[in-house]
Amino acid sequence: MPTIQENALIVVFNASVFNPKKTDIRATREVVEKYEAHDAGKFVKAILPESAVSDIAKIVSAARQYHYCNSLPWLQDGGRIIPVGHYPTYSTHMAAFKERFDAAVSVFCTNYLSAIELARARLKGLFDQADYPAAEAVRGKFRFNVVSLPIPSSSDFRISGLSAEVRQQVDASVAETVTAGINEVTGRVRECLQKIVERLQNPENTFRNSLISNLEEINRLIPVFNITDSRVLHVLNESIAPLARLDPELLRQNVAARAEACAKAKEILSTYLVDENEEI
């Protein structure tokens, strides 16, 4: 059986955006003193409008969603794992997000001084030049970074000299990662199937095409995520494939096809994805 160290990498994605809001200590103090309402809250002002960074924030959000959809959990440190074979595709997509991010940040930096002057006119007495980083430093308030690392094992030369107990802990952590990865994949499938049952069991319910396309996407990714050749994921992938190929328009127009798809989703849930807290 292939090992996770041979077939996967750790990927860490970090991004940050300049915060256009800031707590005004002086205004907060004045409000508290005026109303004698101590510990009542803080006065947060918009030193720049949300629109100044909204495009950048949307790019980060889309990149983060792609990162999570195309990777699996790696313990609790924020890093995630991705199959080696899928890494070129992942890297290409993340590089495209970074290119869009850098371009949007460049626009922000170009307009930054003008935005400050607009804020001066808008905020009037609440304006404070100290709230704004210098123009040459504001670029550093934005960050978009992807790092890839190998997955450690107890045979790693940096680890092999440690005690047997530590090496066992490393192997146990990796085994925990494998289990968590399988659980995340099956959890995604369960969520899709539960939504299919919820929407299709009542002929009057409407639904979007994404009801099926989301399952289709997961069906495509299961073989990619099956890093250790798990039989569970093989069987699950084969089971949901017919549902993932269904035409949403057919389900809207054909009552029998809709009922059959709903029954199939229930069958898969009850056979492979039993959740003791769910009624199927």
The pLDDT of residue 166 is above 90: no
Q: Is residue 159 part of a domain?
A: no
Burial 224-236 (b: 16+ CB within 10 A, else e): ebbbeebeebeeb
Number of domains in the chain: 2
What is Dmax (Cα atoms) for the chain?
A: 71
Q: Are residues 142 and 45 in the same domain?
A: yes
Q: Which residues pair with 146 in a beta bridge?
A: 13
Q: Which of 223, 175, 176 is nearest to 3 (CA)?
A: 175
Q: Is residue 118 part of a domain?
A: yes
Segment 168-187, tens digit of pLDDT: 665 566 666 667 778 888 99
Q: Are residues 75 and 98 in the same domain?
A: yes
Q: Which residues pair with 46 in a beta bridge?
A: 21
Q: Are residues 42 and 174 in the same domain?
A: no
Q: Are residues 117 and 216 in the same domain?
A: no
Segment 247-280, tens digit of pLDDT: 999 999 999 999 999 999 999 999 987 654 343 3
Q: Which of 251, 213, 66, 211 is nearest to 146 (CA)?
A: 66
Q: Is residue 190 part of a domain?
A: yes
Q: Is residue 127 part of a domain?
A: yes
Segment 183-230, tens digit of pLDDT: 888 999 999 999 999 999 998 999 999 999 999 999 999 998 888 788
159/29: higher pLDDT = 29
Segment 77-120, tens digit of pLDDT: 668 989 888 999 999 999 999 999 999 999 999 999 999 999 99
Segment 128-163, tens digit of pLDDT: 999 999 999 999 999 999 998 887 665 554 545 555
Q: Are residues 47 and 173 in the same domain?
A: no
Q: Are residues 140 and 37 in the same domain?
A: yes
CB 131 within 8 A of CB 25: no
Q: Which residues pair with 143 in a beta bridge?
A: 16
Q: Are residues 126 and 248 in the same domain?
A: no
CA dihedral 4, 6, 7, 12 (to 10 degrees): 80
Q: Is residue 155 part of a domain?
A: no
Q: Are residues 143 and 23 in the same domain?
A: yes
Q: Are residues 16 and 122 in the same domain?
A: yes
Distance between CA atoms of 132 and 134, rounded to whole angstroms? Answer: 6
Q: Where are the alpha helices (DSSP H) in 77-163?
A: 87-123
Enclosing domain of residue 247: 164-272
Last residue of a domain, one of 98, 125, 150: 150
Q: Are residues 28 and 145 in the same domain?
A: yes
Last residue of a domain, one of 119, 150, 181: 150
Which pair of structure tokens corresponds to residue 215? Answer: 């399952």
Q: Is residue 168 part of a domain?
A: yes
Beta strands in the chain (DSSP E): 8-16, 21-23, 44-46, 72-73, 80-83, 143-150
Q: Is the whole-model pTM more than 0.85?
A: no
Which pair of structure tokens corresponds to residue 227? Answer: 């890093």
Q: Are residues 133 and 82 in the same domain?
A: yes
% of the chain at pLDDT higher than 70: 85
Q: Are residues 219 and 140 in the same domain?
A: no
Last residue of a domain, one of 127, 150, 173: 150
**Per-residue pLDDT at 157:** 44
Q: Is residue 125 part of a domain?
A: yes
